[in-house]
Amino acid sequence: MTNMKTLIVMMCMTGLSPIACAQSATPPRITASEAKNHSGETVTVCGKVVDTKIAKNGIAGHGKPVSFDLDQPEPNPVFYFVTFGAQPGGPEEAIAAYQGKRVCVTGKINMLATTPLIMAADRSQIKPQAEDK
């Protein structure tokens, strides 16, 4: 009976080991200027927020989206991400949280015209970084 239990446990462990090993790897970290070469990939893009824009219209359940340019502002942005402000502060709260700071944002890169972007509806995708001294 003990041999049978051991055999069953070994088969379960062998069957579950591929699932345990299939844990997703940490997305690669890239700069804002490298983002254009990674369209469709899930990456972490890091840079300094240099400009922000609040959309005129909101999205139901989220409010007004805010765009954050990293490293280079309009009219020639190299990368931006879009997120929403937390209630009740709205867009101004999001701007205060990231304006002028170094951040890393993780997500799938999409292209809008020629500018890469990440839609970060979940603010946990955005991590402020310590400033270099």
Residue 130: CB atoms within 10 Å: 7
What average pLDDT does range 38-49 have in this prediction? 96
Three-state DSSP string of 101-132: CEEEEEEECEEECCEEEEECCCHHHEEECCCC
Place of tokens 């995708």: 125
Residue type, 92: E
- Provide the token pair at 132: 């270099």
- Domains and their CATH numbers in the chain: 25-128 (2.40.50.140)
- Are the beta carbons of 108 and 118 closer than 8 angstroms? yes
- Are the beta carbons of 126 and 120 closer than 8 angstroms? yes
CA distance 69 to 80: 4
- The predicted model scores a pTM of 0.77
Residue 7 scores a pLDDT above 60: no
Higher-confidence residue: 70 or 17? 70
What average pLDDT does range 95-99 have in this prediction? 93
CA distance 99 to 74: 15
What average pLDDT does range 75-98 have in this prediction? 89
Residue 133 scores a pLDDT above 60: no
pLDDT digits (tens, 9 = 90+) for 101-112: 999 999 999 998
What average pLDDT does range 91-105 have in this prediction? 94
- Are the beta carbons of 131 and 102 closer than 8 angstroms? yes
Residue 132 scores a pLDDT above 70: no
What average pLDDT does range 1-20 have in this prediction? 59
- Are the beta carbons of 35 and 43 closer than 8 angstroms? yes
Residue type, 39: S
